[in-house]
Structure 1
Amino acid sequence: MSSKIYVLDGALLECNEGFAPAKLLVTQNQKVKIQGKFKATDMDVQVPQTFGQCKLKPTNSGYLPCIPALQKWTKTTSKSTLGSSKKWLFDDSECMCGTGGKITITDPTQLNLAGSIKEEFKDIAMTIPGAMMGNDKAPKVIESYWMDEAGDEKIDKINYGEKATMFVRTENIDLGESITVKVNETKGNKIDSKKAQFIYTGTIQENGIAKLELLDTKEDWSKIKE
């Protein structure tokens, strides 16, 4: 599992030999999105707005305009799900310009609300029925997690009288669509002494994350009862 975050279309780049930031245009992936934007690959090298002027091209009156010539990116994922040699970019990926500058990422444009991203399919928390490994267009839930009532930190259990909010991070699910999540008590105990399963629903937001209803228990069902 990786603690890094992915780079999306429109990410801000910086060249150590340039004078201005520039946006990355994703052209090599038109299938996989996060938060409504296409994920960038190591073969995405188009920077339409350029980095202004180039410090490696001085003249008597200043510097010549930048003509970006980005090479293949490094420090990427070990593989991708595109079914080719393309690899995903991370926020610390970097590449060289053919002129000599070093390109780094200052804003990957992905909101890291969930804290971490699962890079490989084996780490995916849940898959919506009908989705299959290797199908880039299939709707997926790539992470599920609970936040405390204040929304300050993730939690892995809830005690008597406490409240928590469930979140799910998705891919390839349209804005405004509903998602249903079933929660089971893993030890076979009944929640609130009545049910072994609760069903929650939420709506997918623009960032691909759905916030589900608060869970409010009447007893500490996280403890195993003999």
Structure 2
Amino acid sequence: MGKKYVLDGAMLQCNQGMKPAKLLVTQNKKVKIQGKFQATDKETQVPETFGQCKLKPSGSSYLPCVPALQPWTKTAKKSTLGGSKKFLFDDSECMCATGGKVTIMQHAQINSAGSVKETFKNIAMMIPGAMMGNDKAPKVVESYWMDETGKERIDSLDYGEKAKLFVLTENMDAGETVTVNVKDKKKQDFKEGEKKLKYTGIVQADGTAAMKLVTIDENWIETEKEQ
């Protein structure tokens, strides 16, 4: 199972605080998941605070917590939002200037693994008709997904897992390039503003073509890696 992105309202905990508190996302007002803004490594706002701070004893009690979050670590590797900001994962963490360690208790995402798996199946089901037509015309007659090694067929994909898309062609010569456009059956965007995906592959002697390696995550962002 892959990592999950952290959203506005995620529950944080500090090992020197007395209670959990919600993260307020202020550094991203563009990218959302499930209707909530994604948290970045520049987030510092914890309005409710962690209660009292164990590092600030005062008589028989402790002084109130004043969160002073430092830069987050274990974040996404690539910068986003046109700058140096990086999205947080559910295992991201940071230090408070007072000395506490802040971690993610709950990322604020609703579990939607089932819908991702269903969409994964829908994608494969849409491809066979992509090039149908004249009996003598080049066409795709079957599509299926294989695990990352290309040895075993699969019909679902969890977040962060990788798979290879294969198609079986007719009336195409070995060495030719086959291209298919894929749309979601429910007409959902794969990525904001993108309603279809394009895949290409080289036809082999047996008529099959291995497409590019694909990773699907709950943000519907597709990343490709050359085979």
Q: TM-score, normalised by structure 2?
A: 0.55
Distance in 2 separating the partners of 1:22 and 1:47: 7
Distance across 2 between alignment mates of 1:71 and 1:188:
55
Aligned to 1:53: 52
**What's the offset of the Cα at 1:81?**
2.6
The verdict on how the C-alpha distance between 1:77 and 1:199 changes in structure 2, with shifts beyond 3 A counting, is: closer
SS in 2 for 1:54: strand
Give 1:199 deviation, angstroms: 7.2
Q: Does the C-alpha gap of structure 1 residues 197 and 107 become closer, same or farther in structure 2, counting only changes over 3 Å?
A: closer
Mapped contact 2:119–2:184 kept (Cα < 8 A): no
Q: Provide the secondary structure at the position in 2 that maps to 1:186.
A: strand
Structure 1 Cα separation of the partners of residues 96 and 181 of structure 2: 55
- How many equivalent pairs are there? 148
Compute the displacement of 1:156 (Å): 3.9
CA distance in structure 1 between the partners assigned to 2:14 and 2:185 by the alignment: 44
Structure showing greater radius of gyration is: 2
Take 1:63 and 1:20, find their aligned partners in 2: how far apart are those partners? 13
Q: Report what 1:22 is aligned to.
A: 21
Give, in angstroms, the shift of residue 144 of structure 1.
4.6
Q: Give the corresponding residue for 1:186.
A: 167
Q: Which amino acid letter does the alignment assign opposite residue 29 of structure 1?
A: N
Which residues of structure 2 form unaligned runs of 5+? 123-143, 147-154, 160-164, 171-179, 193-206, 209-227
Change (3 A) 1:198 1:60: closer
Aligned runs of 1:105-184 on 2, under 5 Å?
A: 105-114=104-113, 144-146=119-121, 156=145
| TM-fit CA distance, 1:185 | 8.3
The Cα of 1:198 is off from its aligned counterpart by 9.7
Question: Structure 1 counterpart of 2:100, which letter?
Answer: G
Distance verdict in 2 for CA 1:49–1:198, change over 3 Å:
closer
Higher relative contact order (CA 8 A, sep 6+): 1
More helix per residue: 1 or 2?
2
How much identity, in percent, do the aligned residues show?
Answer: 58
**Conserved 8 A contact 1:5-1:112:** no
TM-score (normalised: structure 1): 0.55
1:68 paired with 2:52, answer no
Structure 1 counterpart of 2:103, which letter? T
